[in-house]
Amino acid sequence: MSTTLEWFKSSYSGDEGGQCLEVATTPTTVHVRDSKVPDGPTLGLAPASWAALTGWVSR
């Protein structure tokens, strides 16, 4: 079993170098990082917390 995370950005993100988040998911955690600093810190959220956050942001 591979432990490497597969990171992705939103399809709405461009390649202009703006402020973007990348996300990688596992069954128990949604990992979030700054796309400009891939070796920097990450934030791990429970899937329910990620769903609540994205729901709030989209309103």
Alpha carbon 8 to chain centroid distance? 7
**How many angstroms separate the CA atoms of 26 and 7, rounded?**
11
Output 10-13 pairs: Cβ under 8 A, ≥24 positions apart: none
Buried b (16+ CB within 10 A) or exposed e, 37-56: eeeeebeeeeeeebeeeeee
The confidence score (pLDDT) of residue 30 equals: 97
13-46: pLDDT as tens digits: 766 666 788 999 999 999 999 988 989 999 999 9
**How many angstroms separate the CA atoms of 29 and 45, rounded?**
5
Query: 9 pLDDT exceeds 90?
Result: no
